[in-house]
Chains A and B, each alone.
Chain A
Amino acid sequence: MSDRLEVLKTYKLFIDGKFPRSESGRSMVVHDRAGRVVAHASRASRKDLREAVEAARRAQTGWAGATAYNRGQVLYRLAEMIEGKAAELASLIDACEGGKQNLGTESGAVEVRACVDRLVAYAGWADKYSQVLGCNNPVAGPYYNFTVPEPTGVVCVLAPASPSLLGLIALAAPALCAGNAVVAVASGANPLPAAVLAEGVATCDLPGGVLNILTTQQDELTQHAASHRDIDAIHAAGLDEKNAELVRAGVAENLKRVVVRSLDRADWFDPRLCENPWWIESFVEMKTMWHPASV
């Protein structure tokens, strides 16, 4: 027995650039695969979700108003922060999700490297996607007409259980790079990598409220996210059929844009599949502008 008692950490929520505990006072115990207690994590409630959405709404206009160049730099900075936390993140993934034994070669370290690369990819997209998705339109008349993508607004990410960190980052990054604010709800299975990610976000120059991260039993919030009228879009993956239907029904609430993905674990590591402007396109609104071009 060691002569020093380890300090067990309680991971907190990340809302509006701050680290509150859940307003509900609840927390959950996170075990490793051997059943030992690794840490505690705050268990977000419906009210925490609402507060995160409010924070995201407040932050969204400013983030969308930042230059595309600036958004790219901030996302790149986030990649730098994750790289710096690679060992910590990898060990949490290995301890709780299975590491090499369960996941083959895709151990925690591989997943974290993919996360960093995913962020770098979308950092680069920030000032390019609008050139790919937007255009001039040759209308039959003396008008200058063009279409530009604009951010949808507040996007809720429902992250898959596996890969927990890469899944969350892959779902959030396309929305963020286009100027949306995100409320990410991590999977309840292993919330710790998401909580550590929050610590990286807090130090990466991303304005408070642009990316909020909630740990909880995700099922608990699915319905609330779907019916929340100030969430403009949902980007989800790994949902069972019941929750997928719940989320899709959210369209009927306020016409929220809903994308529910079902990817195999290996798919998440495929850049061709996950790093392209068509993932961004789901979270932009095309605005078409006309102006007379003759006097």
Chain B
Amino acid sequence: MARTSPKQSTSKRTTPTKQATKPAGTTPRGKAGSGTAAQNMPVSSAKSSRGDTWDYAPAPETVKVAIADRYDLFINGEFVPPRDGGADGYFDTINPATEATLSRVAQGSAEDVDRAVRAAREAFPMWSALKPIERAKYIFRLARRIQERARELAVLETLDSGKPIKESRDVDVPLVAGHFFYHAGWADKLAYAFPGRTPRAIGVCAQVIPWNFPLLMAAWKLAPALACGNTCVLKPAETTPLSALRLAEICREIELPPGVVNIVTGDGRTGAALVSHPDVDKVAFTGSTDVGKKIAKSVASTGAGTSKRLTLELGGKSANIIFEDASIDQAIEGIISGIYFNQGEVCCAGSRLLVQESILDRVVKKLRVRMASLRVGDPMDKNTDVGAVNSSQQLATVKKYLALGIEEGAELVLPGVRGEVEAQTPTRGFAKGYFCRPCFFTDVQPSHTIAREEIFGPVLSVMSFRTPEEAISRANNTPYGLAAGVWTDKGSKIFDVARKLKAGVVWMNTYNKFDPASPFGGFKESGFGREGGVQGLRAYVKLDS
């Protein structure tokens, strides 16, 4: 197995530049454009299975994006400094591919949250009473400006989050614009979405989002809330606030009325203050199941009398089931995109691969070859498939699971064939930045930690099964229920299995597809409520009386 080689491929790495060797945080701020990551990155394909002949030339994204030295909070249509604006009032946000500081961002306090909630409250009567078609037109404007500024948003997203520019450019940002377009059109058609009822806006929405799809999650939260006539206070993730702040600029640009969208940056304390604020009518959270449960508890106790509404989109440990009668090559592509898309930092990642026993060896072999062709490295390079893990903290989590997997007896398979390995472990061999090579474990037992817990990294657990019944029971044997994949060319089998899987999204002969018109959300401990589609509107309207 590839893991046995201790050799480190330092030879192919470009000499670290002066900038790359500087400690993190010393990079001049405000000009943190593109290209800085390329220089300290090992070009993984330099020693890929294809040999040197077919290596790609660097293809850096060259659009420069202006980033301010410092960002304030977006409250009531203005950028305002945090109340506690001293030394602790701002924190660094860094580029996880270079560890260079991109900017400093305000740490919203409970007092700042209160200001934002009050602004949203004051804006609510006007916004909810606005003629629906006018509300729609504001949201259409947002969508249009997002499209027009798409490249800038994509670059910013990649710099702040570490995801490959290919994905932020072709997936995240187009979906963001799509979400606003889709929901804009609902604003004046809500009565048709809820037959027999008269939907009404709920009020002030507190929305807390994660770092894996920073701008897309903001769109998932804001678009339906605004279309239904609610006002919002959004808290972006601590490590990825920049694209949401750019969205705030766009809100100003399109003259969205002040207070309708407020963006309060900060860490977990800011989020906690927001979801427990007594004047919030609805809480929407995307993130870990642990934090989701804490929020549920806080909402249960602060919602005295008029209970706060709550929707949660939480973790997953989704199964990708491949039957012997599947189209194997297609399935391999689906497995690869299922787990390595966005460095595996996807709540619906197909992190448990269930392979029918008769094709296990074939699938594992093909998977190794395909995995070795994935290009890990500079997120700003247009050919990069796997970028940087979002933070050192997340990388530490992934490392913990890698060690646990080995310790519990699973076999770690690394990229490279015929003993060509770039590093001993997936996370070594990179000069700077938080990187992890795609990898997978074989010989995984369902009881192993790596088969039960969400890793949120480019790590796949491969297991086998014999009968469809066994596949279904293994797939459902988890407290989660977010997504699942089924691969077979037999129609009746695919529907039978899809029907029996306890998951909110089932991809049949495909994986990781998203669309504004398609509801997304989980069964069981993966949360409740849907985002997207007509069903997603439900979370943002009152239907009673």
Contact = CB atoms under 8 A, between A and B. Distances in A.
Given A137-B519, A143-B510, A291-B510, A260 B307 contact: yes
Contacts of B521: 286
A286 B517 contact: no
A139 B517 contact: yes
Counting chain A CB atoms within 10 Å of each CB, the highest count among B289, B517, B521 belongs to B517
A285 interface: yes
Nearest to B195: A132
A6 interface: no
Nearest to A148: B499
A260 B303 CA distance: 12
B292 A291 contact: no
Interface in B279-317: 289, 292-294, 296-297, 299-301, 303-305, 307, 310, 312, 314
Interface stretch (A68-76, A156-164, A184-192, A247-255): A247-255
Interface string A237-274: 00001001100110111110100100000000000010
Nearest to B535: A286
A248 B307 contact: yes
Nearest to A267: B545
Given A137-B533, A245-B301, A291-B510, A286 B296 contact: no
A277 B194 CA distance: 10
A147 B301 contact: no
Contacts of B534: 135
Contacts of B479: 254
B195 A138 contact: no
B533 A147 contact: yes
A45 to B, nearest CB: 25
A135 B525 CA distance: 24
Nearest to A247: B300
Interface in A94-138: 132-133, 135, 137-138
B510 A276 contact: no
Contacts of A277: 195-196
Nearest to A132: B195
Nearest to B301: A245
A248 B517 contact: no
A252 B508 contact: no
A257 B529 CA distance: 10
Nearest to B505: A288
A287 interface: yes
Contacts of B465: none
Given A139-B517, A290-B510, A255 B292 contact: yes
Contacts of A35: none
Interface in A134-153: 135, 137-141, 143, 145, 147, 152
A16 interface: no
A101 B479 CA distance: 51
A25 interface: no
B241 interface: no
B498 A143 contact: no
Given A254-B479, A255-B292, A276-B197, A248 B504 contact: no
Interface in B529-543: 530, 533-535, 538, 543
A276 B544 CA distance: 11
B507 to A, nearest CB: 5
B524 interface: yes
A245 B307 CA distance: 9
B79 interface: no
A285 B538 CA distance: 13
A291 B314 CA distance: 24
B476 to A, nearest CB: 11
B527 A249 contact: no
A281 interface: yes
B520 interface: yes
B276 to A, nearest CB: 13
B304 A241 contact: yes
B15 interface: no
B518 interface: yes
B301 A288 contact: no
A254 B292 CA distance: 10
Contacts of A288: 504-506, 518-520, 530, 533
B543 A292 contact: no
A121 to B, nearest CB: 13
B139 to A, nearest CB: 18
Given A252-B293, A288-B505, A276 B196 contact: yes
B20 to A, nearest CB: 40
Contacts of A289: 498, 505-508
Interface string B440-471: 00000000000000000000000000000000
A51 B404 CA distance: 37
Given A249-B301, A281-B538, A291-B509, A139 B504 contact: no
B91 interface: no
A247 B229 CA distance: 30
A137 to B, nearest CB: 4
Contact of B513 (A141, A251, A286): A141
Nearest to B520: A288
Interface string B109-132: 000000000000000000000000
A255 B524 contact: yes
A232 B526 CA distance: 12
A263 B518 CA distance: 34
B178 interface: yes
A135 B533 CA distance: 9
A278 B197 contact: yes
Contacts of A257: 528
A140 B177 CA distance: 13
A147 to B, nearest CB: 5
B278 to A, nearest CB: 14
B503 interface: yes
A141 B515 CA distance: 9
A1 B526 CA distance: 65
Given A138-B517, A286-B519, A251 B310 contact: yes
Nearest to A241: B304
Given A132-B195, A287-B503, A248 B289 contact: no
A137 B528 contact: no
Given A137-B515, A140-B178, A254-B479, 7 more contacts: A139-B513, A143-B513, A147-B519, A254-B524, A281-B538, A290-B518, A292-B510
Closest 10 CB pairs of A and B: A248-B300, A139-B515, A252-B297, A251-B296, A252-B296, A249-B300, A291-B508, A137-B517, A252-B293, A255-B525
24 contacts: A135-B534, A140-B178, A141-B513, A141-B515, A145-B515, A145-B518, A241-B304, A248-B300, A249-B296, A252-B297, A255-B312, A255-B527, A257-B528, A260-B307, A278-B194, A278-B196, A278-B197, A286-B530, A286-B535, A288-B504, A288-B518, A290-B506, A290-B510, A291-B494
Interface of A: 132-133, 135, 137-141, 143, 145, 147, 152, 232, 241, 244-245, 248-249, 251-255, 257, 260, 273, 276-278, 281, 285-292
